[in-house]
Structure 1
Amino acid sequence: FVHDFLDSYGGAERLLHSMHEIYPDAPIFTTRFDPSALPDSFPVQSVREVTWLRNRLVKLFSKQLTFLYLIAFESINLNEYDVVISSSANFAKGILTRPDQIHINYCHTPPRFLYKYEGESDKRMKWYYAPFVSLLDSYLRIWDYVAAQRPDYFIANSKNTAARIKTFYHRDSTVIYPPVNIENHTGSIDSLDAKDESLKDASKSSFFLVVSRLAMYKHVELAIGVCNRLCLPLTVVGVGPEQENLEKLAGETVTFEGFVSDKRLSELYRSAKALIYTVRDEDFGMTPIEAMSYGCPVIAHRSGGTLETVIEGKTGEFFDEYSVDGLLDVVENFNSNNYTYENLIKRANDFSRERFQDEIRTFVDNHTQQNDNNNA
């Protein structure tokens, strides 16, 4: 495996973790590695880091020295492996392999900062080095296109991402939705056990819920603005660089819980009236599925990956105008009684880890067999 960075544990890292469970003896190559940021269950002993990038200057100016990561990925020696799976939202797909090797890229998205999608890398464009970064990005887009021709096969995390791969790289891809860790608290719709019954019967409170990294591109201020105007209770879970600004915007009905335990998060999902998901044009989006797995309906913008996960009128609702006014109308008229526990759980189960691992295993086996037949 080759993965962009392993210095945090988000959706992409959870997906890598699930893939590694299929092939537990495989090494994981990466360009940034912080074992303290990963859970105890993560196979840190399998990680191989490109060590020359540990330079303090590189870490300090990583956003401006992006081109060094291109060199790093191209320098990884993968000659001893028959099949290489790269997992990338940035440049891991640019690894160099031999013609007789199989290179499969799991694409979370083409680099958002290169193609003008909102993301945390927008902060690279500070006015005092914007001219340099703009020039660098022009080169990076050329390299990114060339690198995208290197994988033999693309897997996309959503139809939304598959369309971007086609647009920017002119490559076809197979959609395999990411896994969401729902096994611990969902069960079969046909035979609800005791813990499922308690979840099913949990009474809904009047508060709305946001679960998000508090970054500018997440636009949590939309949910805060709506609940301020309607005087509705809102609980915000998450931390990030925008927390102080958002707290200043918040009225008396808005509560910030910061980072919470899994147990506390499950309590909030079970009792919230709905999750408000304010990201626009999300690549896929695991949080709405996580919410549904606890019987919590979702309010999301009509764009991106949520169009593939939230079923309007059945597991949640969409708002169209990306503004406080656009979201307000949906929140004001939202009735959680319109969404059944069974429908929410059934939808969440479509994105289970078992389903994901079966589809990945089948994809790799089929293309390995095909490659063997071609070389016979």
Structure 2
Amino acid sequence: MRLTEGKLAGLIVHEWIERVGGAEKVLDAFVDEFPDSDLFCLWNDAPGRYRQRVTESKLSRGPLRGRKALATPFMPRVWKNLQNDSYDWMLVSSHLFAHQAHLPGLDPDRKFVYAHTPARYLWEPELDARGDLMAVRAVAPVLRAIDAKSAHNHRNVAANSGFVRDRIERTWDVEAQVIHPPVDVERLQAVPDWRDELTVADAAVIESLPDAYILGASRFVPYKSLDVVIAAGAAAGIPVVIAGGGPDEDRLQAVAADSGADVRFVIRPSDELLAALMQHATAYVFPPVEDFGIMPVEAMALGTPVVVNGAGGASESLAEGKSGVTLSDFSGRSLSEAVSTAAQLDSEACRTQAQAFSEDRFQREIRAWMSL
């Protein structure tokens, strides 16, 4: 075994490293907890983010770099041929095939898989449009067989939600422990009023908004269902703020124009502006079916009650009737009632609920799970 300053050396594995992403927040927490570990990924699009040694795969040096769908058929071979530099353990952050990572000579009990999800566009393509791509459909049966065979050998699997745990059992036939992902609750709650942190331009945006509004914030893509947030505002008779950016912007603008609601768009807000928007919203409405959903926890951390879809992992983060409301019926009446109920909830109860998802809690649970 290899020692680093007297500690057992480990390898952290991640699919690919992006500049922004929920999976990268998990990776950040892994790196903070195990600062002497090495990292391996298919390709690294955030050089300099980590001081540890980061090794990229051969795919990073060819035309498939960053082309996730086209690279998919070649990924299993990469994960099966890692080099074991005398590592004592391996911690894998997986939402596609990284869980298949194999280190020759490593005790199987020393491999730990943190699964954001099994590959949705292979196993449940109805939840991920990438499953409709011709290149993926052509190889999906073979890749599912490889994926299931690899997963069946896992001895230590953690899921980021009960929703994903059930998917793991359904697709991989493997049991998993739930460890909810980390949310930077401490940073969000350290600032009493995020409006004080804004630039002049961002402050002008906040000042232009109504005193009361419901907030929808995410990437502008169809599955995020931001049109439901607009419908909620129209049904409840309360202004709506839609924050984010993406290819669905024109359609959302058209939906807003036809809704009869007072809808304001804030395109690509800064982190500080997004925090201020969340902190001063009447409620944060989060309609998509997500594996977990970090943004509702961020809203609660800032004292804002949430309305979330009862399907998916987001419902696991709130205390029903105390920090938020779950919905299974998205009719106008149900949306209006949910917003009205959420608006009456106590801000301090929201902040307290969010603390159960802190980064410190995550790191403690990861280390206890790994018995390190």
Is 1:107 aligned to 2:115, yes or no?
yes
CA distance in 2, matches of 1:26, 1:151: 21
* Residue pair 2:112, 2:157 contacting (<8 A) in 1 also: yes
1:247 to 1:55, Cα distance in 2 relative to 1, 3 A: farther
CA distance in 1, matches of 2:337, 2:83: 52
Q: Among residues 15, 19, 26, which one is paired with 1:15 in the alignment?
A: 26
Can you list the C-alpha shifts for 1:35-77, whole angstroms capped at 9, x where unaligned? 16xxx7x315532111334422x24753144111112222221
Find the residue that maps to 2:55 and give its secondary structure: strand
Instruction: Name the counterpart of 1:343.
Output: 349
Q: Among residues 266, 276, 295, which one is paired with 1:267 in the alignment?
A: 276
Q: CA RMSD in A?
A: 2.6
**How far has the Cα of 1:334 moved from its partner?**
3.7
Q: Give % identity.
A: 28
* Residue pair 1:216, 1:242 contacting (<8 A) in 2 also: yes
Find the residue that maps to 1:212 and give its secondary structure: strand
Can you list the C-alpha shifts for 1:118-143, whole angstroms capped at 9, x where unaligned? 55x514525xx3xx532311111111
Instruction: Name the counterpart of 2:40.
Output: 29
**Any residues of structure 2 matched to 1:52-91 within 5 Å, and which?**
52-56=59-63, 58-59=64-65, 62-91=68-97
- Report the TM-score when normalising by structure 2: 0.84
Note the residue ranges of structure 1 that are not aligned, 5 or more in a row.
188-193, 367-376
Find the residue that maps to 2:77 and give its secondary structure: helix
* Count of paired positions: 343
CA distance in 2, matches of 1:8, 1:221: 27
**How far has the Cα of 1:357 moved from its partner?**
0.9
CA distance in 2, matches of 1:308, 1:88: 21
Instruction: Name the counterpart of 1:333.
Output: 340
Instruction: Name the counterpart of 2:186.
Output: 183
**Any residues of structure 2 matched to 1:98-137 within 5 Å, and which?**
98=105, 100=107, 102-116=110-124, 118-119=126-127, 121-126=128-133, 129=134, 133-137=136-140
Find the residue that maps to 1:18 and give its secondary structure: helix
Can you list the C-alpha shifts for 1:189-237, whole angstroms capped at 9, x where unaligned? xxxxx938x99xxxx9321101111122211122123334655311111
Q: Which moved more, 1:137-146 or 1:326-335?
A: 326-335
Instruction: Name the counterpart of 2:243.
Output: 237
* Residue pair 1:228, 1:250 contacting (<8 A) in 2 also: no
Q: Among residues 195, 199, 205, which one is paired with 2:192 in the alignment?
A: 195
Q: Among residues 148, 157, 169, which one is paired with 2:151 in the alignment?
A: 148
Instruction: Name the counterpart of 2:224.
Output: 218
AA partner of residue 278 (structure 1): P
Instruction: Name the counterpart of 1:278.
Output: 287
CA distance in 2, matches of 1:306, 1:218: 13
Is 1:171 aligned to 2:177, yes or no?
no
Q: Which moved more, 1:229-238 or 1:254-263?
A: 229-238
Find the residue that maps to 2:187 and give its secondary structure: coil
- Misfit runs of 4+, over 4 Å: 228-231
Can you list the C-alpha shifts for 1:229-250, whole angstroms capped at 9, x where unaligned? 6553111111222222212222
1:195 to 1:8, Cα distance in 2 relative to 1, 3 A: closer
Can you list the C-alpha shifts for 1:157-209, whole angstroms capped at 9, x where unaligned? 1111111111111212221111100112337xxxxxx938x99xxxx932110
- Report the TM-score when normalising by structure 1: 0.83
